[in-house]
Structure formats: C-alpha cells, structure tokens
Amino acid sequence: MSQHALITIITIVLNGEKFLKNAIDSILAQSYQSFEYIIWDDGSTDHTWQIIQDYAQKDNRIKPFRNTNNQGIPKTRNLAIQKSNGKYIVWQDADDISVPERLQIQIDFMEKNPEVGICGGWLHFFDESGYKSIRKYKPDDKSLRKKIFRYSPVAQPAAIIRSNILAQTGLFNERFQLAEDLDLSFRIGRQALFANIQDVLVNYRESASSITKNYLRLAELNTLKVRYHYRNKGYKPTLIDWLYNLLQLTSVYLIPPGVKINIFNKLRNSNS
C-alpha cells in the first residue's frame, strides 16, 4: 500500500541559498519516490528563488511558490498545506538533511499504525565543526503524552502528519509565533496518537543565525502560553509540570540564552 501513497514534502525558506541545495538533494535522493515537493520562498533577497526554479525545471515533482514579502513560517506553511495533495505531510527544513530512508521508514510506520496522527524521529545535531549530539524521543504515545507540558512530543523537523488529521484540527495558529508547532501537536493529540521512530531521520543543522537562538525569549513565552492554553483541553498537567513551567518562566529573564539552551538539552536528553 505504501508504495502508492503520495507524500507532500514542504520546505519553507528565507534567504537559504547557502544550504538549500543540500536539503533539496536529500529529498530527491530518498529511497521512497512517490512524492510532490512544495518549496516556498518566503520573500528571500538572495539567490534562493533562482535555486528553487532551477530544481523545478529539472524535476516536475517540485512545485515552486513565492511570497513577494516575508509572511513568516506559520502563515506560509498554511499556504503550502492548502496547495498539497498528499495523504501525508512531511516537513523538510531548508538547512537540514534527511537520511535517505526517512520517507520509506515513516510511511511504512504510518500505514501500519492508522491510529497515529503524527510521527517523528531522532535528530542528529551538527554544525561547521561536525556532528554532535543525538536528540532522542520516546517511541510511545503514553510516554510522550506524560511529558507534553515539559517537552514537545515530536521533533517537527522530522515529523510526518496525516493530512486528514489536519483537516480535523485546523492548521497552524499564527498567534503562537515560534511555538505554533507545539500548539498543533496539542491539537493533533486530541484526535490521534503520537509516535517516534527510534532512529535518526534528520541531520539537524545548528548555526549562529538560528531563529530559535535569536528569538529564544519569544519562543519560550509563547511555549508557556500554549501549555497553559491546553491545561484543561484534554490534557491534565501534574504538580511537577506546573513547577517546571514556573521555573522556566522565571528563567526567561534571568538566564542567558546560550546557557539556557545547554541546560535544556541536558535535561531533554536525560529524559529521552
């Protein structure tokens, strides 16, 4: 069955000329080839659009789109989803590299587990100096749901989502900027199960220009808002969850971003 299921892969890119080719090549090299690939330029001022056009001319599975002005990731993702035709949606960030078997592994899993609405996998972090740590995620819904008020259940850069689930939950909420992924996960979790492949699916690039690093305070505050929003909407945070979030709120203004990211990674990996 999975040999014929169409996947829609979506890449949103802004001024990504440096690494975009690596990301696109990692998709074109996938062992599973039944896909359409939407690449959406969100108002780039470098050579990003030319790169996208060049690839689209060589492979008709690539569907290029462009915003004349920067609209942001949530809004542009929503536009791309509305253009999609696949049974599944897969994210491919513009500076990451998917392993060659990623699509085959994920679609095989989703076809065999229809109760799962979103499935991620492990991330292998790397930068200019080489490969670093692996961020692991628990495999089962029960474990992921238990920690959802502390950690995201699925790494969105490695996620595959059923299109029919998105039709039920709605798309990304633009008011939760930099935490829209978590908000969507909470909504998906009210309709279906979470899961993660127990292997590296994406090589995740860390860089000094990372949005998360540069806007960490906004990301944290909106993450806390999302968690609070869903406290009585099909989820029940524990006392430990409340204490964890209180500590995180306090740290927003007290701990430098670089130090905080290191602390989070250690805590996250110790609970994987």
Kindly report, residue by residue over 179-237, the tens digit of the pLDDT.
999 999 999 999 999 999 999 999 999 876 555 555 888 999 999 999 999 999 999 99
Kindly report, residue by residue over 138-157, the tens digit of the pLDDT.
999 999 999 999 999 999 99
- pLDDT bucket at 1, cuts 50 / 70 / 90: very low
Close Cβ partners of 208 (under 8 Å, ≥ 6 residues apart): none
- pLDDT bucket at 128, cuts 50 / 70 / 90: confident
- Give the residue among 12, 5, 4, 9 at the shortest CA–CA distance from 37: 9
Name which residue leads in pLDDT, 268 or 171: 171
Whether the per-residue pLDDT at 176 is higher than 70: the answer is yes
Whether the per-residue pLDDT at 258 is higher than 70: the answer is no
75 domain residue, yes or no: yes
Q: What is the CATH number of the domain that holds 149?
A: 3.90.550.10
139 domain residue, yes or no: yes
213 domain residue, yes or no: no
For 19-64, what is the HEC assignment?
CHHHHHHHHHCCCCCCEEEEEEEECCCCCHHHHHHHHHHHCCCEEE
222 domain residue, yes or no: no
Kindly report, residue by residue over 17-32, the tens digit of the pLDDT.
999 999 999 999 999 9
Q: What's the pLDDT score for residue 116?
A: 99
Kindly report, residue by residue over 71-121, the tens digit of the pLDDT.
999 999 999 999 999 999 999 999 999 999 999 999 999 999 999 999 999
17 domain residue, yes or no: yes
Q: What's the pLDDT score for residue 271?
A: 58
- Distance between CA atoms of 118 and 126, rounded to whole angstroms? 25
261 domain residue, yes or no: no
265 domain residue, yes or no: no
In total, how many domains does the chain have? 1
249 domain residue, yes or no: no
Whether the per-residue pLDDT at 161 is higher than 80: the answer is yes
Q: What's the pLDDT score for residue 61?
A: 98
Owning domain of residue 172: 7-208
